Amino acid sequence: MSHASPEAAVAALTDPAAPYLIGVRHHAPSLAAAVPALLAAAEPDVLLVELPAELEEWLPWLAHEETRAPVALAAAPAGGGGGPAGRGVGPAFYPFADFSPELAAVRWAARHGVPVLTCDLPLADRAWAGERHTDAASEPSADASPGVATGTPPGVATGTPPGITAALRSRLTGRPDDDLWDRLVETAAPGSSPEALRRAALLTGWALRAEA
């Protein structure tokens, strides 16, 4: 799907014949507010949340009526996560606030008797280590300069056509270095339907992954 147009990508991600997807950012006030309406419309038989398998047994406590945000889940793989030659991962920490879409979804499921399952790899899986190394290698340096409104976008060679995210930013208002999610989702939230926010969130996630 990485070579599809934005319109085709959103159409595929929202295909009624496919699993019902809600693309989220961990802390996203507008989407967290829309999640209950989205799930009520979808009427799921089961809710899958992108969290490591080790956290599944703790999800009922996360949704417990006496649990007050901010709250966090923490876990470490069995054996300390060192793995062969220390190539595993260490403890993982997942903070939640009232404006976390995942927390809103888990709470909704608890109120409506819908089972919640985790759908990410266990922390003990060595794929986590590779992902963290990739993320670390792609992080900008502390003295990296912010983007500018004109000229070549940072990270794009002169003469290279702008990527999907750069093209989307160029068509939106706001500061040049504003986060794409803020532009496409948060600023569009007032007056938008929950389904419009879901589509904007899925488009943002697709655009970022297409250039990863």
**What is the tens place of the pLDDT at every residue in 87-128?**
456 788 999 999 999 999 999 999 999 999 999 988 877 776
| Eight-state DSSP code of residue 16 | T
At 188, is the secondary structure helix, strand, or coil? Answer: coil
Residues 47/117, Cβ–Cβ less than 8 Å: yes
**Which of 43-57, 67-81, 169-183 holds the top average pLDDT?**
43-57
Question: Before 70, cis peptide (omega within 30)?
Answer: yes
R_g over Cα of the chain: 19
Give the Cβ contact number of residue 88 at 10 Å.
20
What residues pair up with 48 in beta bridges, in sequence order?
A: 117
Q: What are the pLDDT digits (tens) for 154-199? A: 343 444 445 656 655 555 555 544 588 888 899 889 999 999 999 9
